[in-house]
Structure 1
Amino acid sequence: MNMANKVALITGASSGIGEATAQRLAKAGYKVYGTSRRGDQAGRRSFEMLPLDVTKNESVEAAVQKVMQLEGRIDLLVNNAGFGVAAAGAEESSIEQAQSIFDTNFFGLVRMTRAVVPHMRSQKGGRIINIGSVLGFLPMPYMALYSATKHAVAGYSESLDHELRKQGIRVSVVEPAYINTPFDANLIQPDAPLDVYREIREGVAKRVKEALVGADGPDVVAEIVLKAATVAHPKIHYTPGLASRMRLLRRFAPARVLDAGVRKDLRLEA
């Protein structure tokens, strides 16, 4: 696919996977607009930044309209904005906190899709790539809310691809495992902590930090996004690196073996 004159819009592009993806797409020839809640920041970038809060309808509409005014089209939407709650028991987050993570990780993606699809339909083509997670098909204990949002992203992406492909629009979800990014620095703490989970919470958090240190960098995901954006016949699911092996285990390993492996990796008692 010729990337010349192609326009990409990427949410959560100020750091990590979003920034790496924006840089990779710009290098490949896309005109890239990254977004973050703070908008443009100091430093030299190979792409432009726009202010955008995916939890606000008016902010989403304003950012999309800005790109349309400047470029007249959007060929690729990468929904990357999201956050997680630090390792904690599911009951340690209030309903309000649970709603907050869904509002960004899932409903933010829905808002962006609803704003962009009409433009893609009018131009008779486009790609939407949603950044999911291995936790969208292999839930992790003490990350229940984040896992739930990523399950929602996976289901939404599959359904949406079926609905839009006859209009020339394809949807894919990229589901990485551990990626060494500043994501863990932006985790919020549970707002209803319970002492019964304190030791387990600290142990799981320590194990996750250890895994992140030795994990692939965000460029691995950026390459997969570029592939999904440019191949003639994209897949719905992409699982880069370690995630591909974890998907195979999820599909073929006996449930008790997989269950034991998850607990062993997190150093939890059987």
Structure 2
Amino acid sequence: MSNSKVVIVTGVSSGIGRTAAVKFVDQGCRVFGTVRNTARAQPIPGVELVEMDIRDEASVQHGIQTIIAKAERIDVLVNSAGVTLLGATEETSIAEANTLFDTNLLGLLRTTQAVLPHMREQRSGRIVNVSSVLGFLPAPYMGLYSASKHAVEGLSETLDHEVRQFGIRVALVEPSFTKTNLDLNAPQTASKIPDYNKELGVVSQAIQKNVRKAPEPDGVAATIVDAALGAWKMRRTPKGEASLLAKLRRFMPAGPVEKGLRKTFGLT
């Protein structure tokens, strides 16, 4: 075990993060999983749970120092924790936007900045940021979520150029619809503008339908493990819809891609 890769996965309470943590254990890694409250968290065999709120700088620093004290190094950071939001862009309050970006972008930044000094010192490391196909595609009524993932993509590509001189690489994993509680229980904006209600209802139903028929998180988790432990590649899309969408975005004209997206979300 002393030669095992030391892996941190944020947001292992459920969904993609939890499944990824299990798969890293299966690969023989020493895995630390972060949760906001260890007292309420369900244990994961082989995973050492660490209390950390990625929205709180002091909590992040304390969590990373706890891991360093135990493992003395960090080989992989997987930024998996995230939140979503459904609603028209015009309806989204600045407070709601701040909350979403504070988790999806700034939370990722806090954990990354906390582990980088240790990775620089050891002259090696891999950071895997869980993005989304919405990091390169639009999605009606998910404007701020999509914006946060576009931001994650830009940050990740830039950071990779900066840290590769230290033997550190940054990678992105871009899943599509995945059967998790995050999407099934997506919160909606508190404010409502009646003009948007009809379309928002259609989109919401389409998202629920797509999530229910979507694959379990195993495929995304396997892709995360490949991104962390395999040969470096900037972007990885899980097999299936995510890979297809990436190819369509790259090779198809914008018109047919836009038409297909609107159809996916139930819009004419």
Superposition TM-score tier, normalisation by shorter sequence: over 0.9
Structure 1 unmatched ranges of 5 or more: none
Instruction: Summarize the Cα distance change of 1:24–1:196 in structure 2 as closer, same or farther, 3 Å threshold.
Output: same
Find runs of 4+ consecutive structure 1 residues off by over 6 angstroms.
Answer: none
Is 1:253 aligned to residue 252 of structure 2? yes
Alpha-carbon distance in structure 2 between the residues aligned to 1:8 and 1:78: 8
**After the TM superposition, which residues 91-240 of structure 1 pair with which residues of structure 2 at under 5 Å, given as runs?**
91-231=90-230, 233-240=231-238
Residue identity (%)? 42
Q: Residue 54 of structure 2 corresponds to which residue in structure 1?
A: 54
Alpha-carbon distance in structure 1 between the residues aligned to 2:146 and 2:42: 33
- The residue identity in structure 2 corresponding to 1:176 is P
- The residue identity in structure 1 corresponding to 2:166 is Q
Q: Residue 64 of structure 1 corresponds to which residue in structure 2?
A: 64
- The residue identity in structure 1 corresponding to 2:195 is V
Alpha-carbon deviations, 1:207-263, whole Å to 9, x = none?
1111111112111011111111122x3101001121111011111111111111111
Is contact 1:92–1:190 with CA below 8 Å preserved after alignment?
A: yes
Alpha-carbon distance in structure 2 between the residues aligned to 1:124 and 1:144: 38
Structure 2 unmatched ranges of 5 or more: none
Q: Residue 73 of structure 2 corresponds to which residue in structure 1?
A: 73
More displaced, 126-135 or 88-97?
Answer: 88-97
Cα RMSD of the aligned pairs, angstroms, is 1.5
Is contact 2:184–2:211 with CA below 8 Å preserved after alignment?
A: no
Is contact 1:83–1:186 with CA below 8 Å preserved after alignment?
A: no
More displaced, 176-185 or 150-159?
Answer: 176-185
Alpha-carbon distance in structure 1 between the residues aligned to 2:194 and 2:227: 44
Is contact 1:3–1:29 with CA below 8 Å preserved after alignment?
A: no
Alpha-carbon distance in structure 2 between the residues aligned to 1:44 and 1:106: 26
Shift of 1:191: 2.0
Is contact 1:3–1:30 with CA below 8 Å preserved after alignment?
A: no
Instruction: Summarize the Cα distance change of 1:91–1:210 in structure 2 as closer, same or farther, 3 Å threshold.
Output: same
Alpha-carbon deviations, 1:27-68, whole Å to 9, x = none?
101111111112252445331211111111000000000000
Matched length: 266
Alpha-carbon distance in structure 1 between the residues aligned to 2:109 and 2:42: 30
- TM-score, normalising length: structure 1: 0.95
Is contact 1:134–1:243 with CA below 8 Å preserved after alignment?
A: yes
Alpha-carbon distance in structure 2 between the residues aligned to 1:246 and 1:76: 27
Q: Residue 30 of structure 1 corresponds to which residue in structure 2?
A: 29
SS of 1:201's partner is helix
Is 1:89 aligned to residue 88 of structure 2? yes
Instruction: Summarize the Cα distance change of 1:3–1:262 in structure 2 as closer, same or farther, 3 Å threshold.
Output: farther
Alpha-carbon distance in structure 2 between the residues aligned to 1:203 and 1:26: 41
Is contact 2:13–2:42 with CA below 8 Å preserved after alignment?
A: no
Instruction: Summarize the Cα distance change of 1:186–1:112 in structure 2 as closer, same or farther, 3 Å threshold.
Output: farther
- The residue identity in structure 2 corresponding to 1:81 is A
Alpha-carbon deviations, 1:109-137, whole Å to 9, x = none?
00111000000011110110000000000
Is contact 1:139–1:147 with CA below 8 Å preserved after alignment?
A: yes
SS of 2:74's partner is coil
- The residue identity in structure 1 corresponding to 2:191 is A
